[in-house]
Structure 1
């Protein structure tokens, strides 16, 4: 048959997909999936699909991840350009927001549903410290949303509503429905909400938001279904991942210690200038090859002979936390790109910008609709799964105990390694399967992003490929496609991570708050 959408409107990504399809007159068959009844784990979804919603089925083609689905729909049905603009920089702004959204909004604004409704349904009480920490994280993200993205514009990325606004609104409505009116003391954000809802249509918004806006009343009157026992393990795992509060950072004693020695970066090092004072040139990339997203950007630019000026930013010296670098990226993260007067952050946004501007070979990000959707699907999935677990593995195994001198409890490290192992299994089973590369027969951005993430646990001494011959063969194909010399050059720093000397106390004091927040 035609297009089918598997949705539950309690889910914020499902609402975004539903609103977009309805607003744009896209014909589809709604396949309701009741998450609270555990239907996502009871065979209600298409065969072979992960136990998540939303899911799109278009004939024999099945796609998950809301961002991938929205881009697929906008392309296939040629929706109005403002949703996902053809203009290079305008589209890059949407991808930049969506990358930030995955880090700071997606995993934060959904927590209140778990603490107030879902955990109690299975007899679990979430500690108050976690609830308070989540409220603080919500407030911090809202301030950043207003200041960094909305500013004085009508919408998040410009003067017209886009996919970015749609994704953001649905996350914020989740918090509103659970009793925290995030718009009440934020008139600028409230006016933005009014503009987005006016564009979508008040009636359509009421229809989409009805189920979530009634959730507290249903919970109080015990009208919600009891999740089946087979859904409990997944729910308990999700509840366990709600972060604890970040402990205050002590004032580390300034006892004498050997200064931080530079790890050899001979092939990539250039003289560091003041970033803010650097003259506008052609393409500039702000990178540290210790960072896995930076390695992906570096390899991609080098492999495709994209001319750029390297602006090194040494993370372990805290250079990304300087006021100078904040003028390049207010989030104080790498990678960052400057192209004349245009500045862009978020690695996926940067990679997609480079593919379009420099017209690289099609296999990196294919023009064919379904092939490209496969790349988008992986890029959306990895952001909060493989990236998180590879990063935590490096820090829990090497960087915290060796570089920062902070012991990691054995049970914490064991849990981190177990999560990494589970994620690697999903990578093999759901993405690689029996293909040569993650998204098809040729290397793509998906493979490049994945391999640079996996080199983090390799650098920490984890033999992740030894017991996974299929994944090992894939990694060898990726290295060959990139070129062994370039691959080794990009990973020289991370492969020496176990030899990093202890941090100087002043560096430790500077880095610890960011590290703790990152690991939470």
Structure 2
């Protein structure tokens, strides 16, 4: 079994897939792409993935992109009995619900709030409020159960904690969202692979965002 994994370590969705593979003990043939240098725009990679995005896997000729689709695929093909994505229909439905909440609400609102920093633009209060509302929903969910989809760890937890590492890198204060903060701490301390996959990437991205914030500050002072 050889699964080529095209990724950028700073990307939260890429790290969600990496954590899933680590949890399932699935070996990936890592192929790092530097998006800042446009390596994902090469003819070779475009031939593999015309959307030229990461993460992307090539499993014995089968190509798949989008992190949440990849996470489900790895389990269904290589670990069908895993509790990360159990076969019980109702449990899977709740996991899918939270995965959809992640990509369609939480990660979307977080990106709308924080992405302007990457373009040397100030963030907007209205976008921050939408992100906070998303976190409030997640906080309510976690006030009633140990993990995001139930009382058992699932790929929804891995996806969402990876997503929120973006806000963590931007030094967002989660104090207001007690249950989210406690859940994040629990996962960081109980998942044996969390630091291996995430720590250096978060540190690197934190430094990068600090640099961007300083550039924005200097830009605003010149006006």
Q: 1:316 aligns with which of 36, 47, 54?
A: 36
Query: Which residue does 1:447 correspond to in 2?
Result: 157
Query: Which residue does 2:194 correspond to in 1?
Result: 487
Query: Which residue does 2:221 correspond to in 1?
Result: none
SS across alignment from 2:119: helix
How far apart, CA to CA, are the structure 2 residues paired with 1:497 and 1:342? 31
Counterpart mapping for 1:36-435 below 5 A: 282-359=2-79, 362-397=82-117, 399-401=118-120, 407-408=121-122, 412-429=123-140, 431-435=141-145
| Root-mean-square deviation (Å) | 1.8
Q: Give 1:283 shift.
A: 0.8
Q: Give 1:369 shift.
A: 1.7
Contact 2:81/2:87, CA 8 A, preserved across alignment: no
Q: 2:184 aligns with which of 462, 468, 475?
A: 475
Q: Give 1:287 shift.
A: 0.8
Q: Give 1:420 shift.
A: 0.8
Question: Scaled by the length of structure 1, what TM-score is found?
Answer: 0.38
Contact 1:443/1:481, CA 8 A, preserved across alignment: no
Greater length-normalized contact order (CA 8 Å, ≥ 6 residues apart): 2
How far apart, CA to CA, are the structure 2 residues paired with 1:434 and 1:388? 24
Length, aligned pairs only? 209
Contact 1:443/1:478, CA 8 A, preserved across alignment: no
Q: Give 1:282 shift.
A: 1.2
Question: Scaled by the length of structure 2, what TM-score is found?
Answer: 0.86
How far apart, CA to CA, are the structure 1 residues paired with 2:146 and 2:108? 25
Contact 1:296/1:452, CA 8 A, preserved across alignment: yes
Query: Which residue does 2:218 correspond to in 1?
Result: none
Q: Give 1:367 shift.
A: 1.3
In structure 2, runs of 5+ residues without a counterpart are 213-223
In structure 1, runs of 5+ residues without a counterpart are 1-280, 402-406, 503-520
How far apart, CA to CA, are the structure 1 residues paired with 2:178 and 2:101? 23
Contact 2:24/2:79, CA 8 A, preserved across alignment: no
Deviations 1:56-96 (A, max 9, x none): xxxxxxxxxxxxxxxxxxxxxxxxxxxxxxxxxxxxxxxxx
Deviations 1:387-438 (A, max 9, x none): 11222333224x222xxxxx33xxx522221111011011122x32310001
Larger Rg: 1
